[in-house]
Chain A
Amino acid sequence: MSQIWKPIFFFSIVFVVMELAIIWALGVAPPDREQGDVQRIFYFHLGSIWPGFVAFFYVLYGSVRYLRSRDLKWDRRALASGEVGLAFCIIVLITGPIWAKPTWGVWWVWDARLTSTIVLAMIFLGYVNLRDYIDDESKRPRISAVLGIIGACMVPFVYMSTRWFETQHPQPVIAGDADSGIRSPHMLYALYLALAAFTLLYIMLWQRGRELFRAEHRIKNIKASLNLMEDET
C-alpha cells in the first residue's frame, strides 16, 4: 500500500470504530438504572484513560530504550506518545467532574484517585514542556527520559488508588473485583468499542506526532550541514 493510502485507510478504520462507539454509547446501550443518561459519559471517560495509560507505558519503554541506546529515535517516539497520553489524561480530568456533578453533587473531591490523576497529568505536562527549557542538547533527552519514567511509574498507583484508599471515585471496572463492573451486554459492547476507538486514535495520533518529530530532526540536521556549507563558501 502506498504512503498516501496507508494513513487514509487507517483514518477510515478509526472513523468507523469511533462512529460505532458513539452510536453504542449514546443510542444502543441502555441508560443506567440509578444515574440515567448521564452515566453514558462513562464510556468515553474510561475509554480515553486506558489508551492514555498505554501511552504513558510506551513513554516508559521508549525512555528506557533511549537511556540504554542513546538513540534519539526513542526519545522522539516517547515524546509523541507522552503528548497523546497527556491529551487523553486531560479528557478524563474534564469529563470526570462533568459526570461527578450530577452523581456526587460536587465537581471535584481531593480523593486519592482524582488527586493522583491530576499529579500524573502535571508530570506529563512537565515532560512534554521540559525540553523547551533545557538548552543543553545532550542533557535534554536524558532528563526528559528520567521524568517520563517517573511519570509512567505513577500509572499503577493511579489504578490501585481506589483499592488502597477510601475514595469517592468508584472501584475499577476493568480487572476489578467480582461485584464491580457492568453486566448489560450492550453496555459492555459500548465500553469495548470506546476502548478500541481510543486505542486506534492513540496509534494514529502517535504515528503522526512521531513522523513530525522525525521530520523536525531531519530538517535540523540539514540546517546544520547547510550552515557548514555556507561558511565554507
Chain B
Amino acid sequence: MTDLTHLVLAYSVVWLIVGAYLAILIMRNRRLLKQVEELEQRIGKLEHSENHSGE
C-alpha cells in the first residue's frame, strides 16, 4: 500500500464511523416516531371508549 492509500483509508474511516453513529441516531429517531404513532393510536382508542361510555 502506498502512503496515499493509507491517507485515503484513514480519512474514509473517520467518515464511516461518524456516518455509522449518525445512522444509529437516525434509527433511534425512527423508533421513537413509531412509538409516538403507537401512543397516538392508544390515546385515540381511549378517547373513543370514553366518548362511548359518556353516551
Q: Which residues of A contact B (CB under 8 A)?
A: 22, 26, 36-38, 40-41, 44-45, 48, 83-84, 87, 90-91, 94-95, 98-99, 101-102, 201, 205, 208-209, 212, 215-216, 219, 222-223, 226, 229-230, 233
Once bound together, how far apart are the Cα atoms of A126 and B6, in whole Å?
Answer: 30
Which partner residue on chain A sits nearest B3 by CB separation? A38
Which partner residue on chain A sits nearest B42 by CB separation? A226
Q: Please list the 4 inter-chain residue pairs (A to B) with the smallest Cβ-Cβ separation, ordered nearest first.
A: A38-B3, A41-B10, A98-B10, A95-B10
Q: Which residues of B contact A102 (CB under 8 A)?
A: 1, 3, 6
A166 to chain B, nearest CB (A): 26
Of the candidates A90, A212, A230, A233, which one forms a contact with B17 in the assembled complex, judged by CB atoms under 8 Å apart?
Answer: A90
Q: Which residues of B contact A45 (CB under 8 A)?
A: 10
Q: Which residues of A contact B35 (CB under 8 A)?
A: 219, 223
B1-35 to A contact mask, C-beta < 8 Å, 1/0: 10110110111011001101110010011001001
Given known contacts A101-B6, A219-B39, A223-B39, is B14 in contact with A91 (CB within 8 Å)? yes
Once bound together, how far apart are the Cα atoms of A37 and B11, in whole Å?
Answer: 13
Q: Which residues of B contact A95 (CB under 8 A)?
A: 10, 13-14
Which partner residue on chain B sits nearest A36 by CB separation? B3
Once bound together, how far apart are the Cα atoms of A215 and B25, in whole Å?
Answer: 12
Q: List 9 A-B contacts (CB under 8 A).
A: A26-B11, A44-B10, A44-B11, A91-B18, A205-B21, A209-B25, A216-B28, A216-B32, A226-B46
Q: Which residues of B contact A208 (CB under 8 A)?
A: 25
Which partner residue on chain B sits nearest A232 by CB separation? B46
Once bound together, how far apart are the Cα atoms of A44 and B6, in whole Å?
Answer: 13
A80 to chain B, nearest CB (A): 10
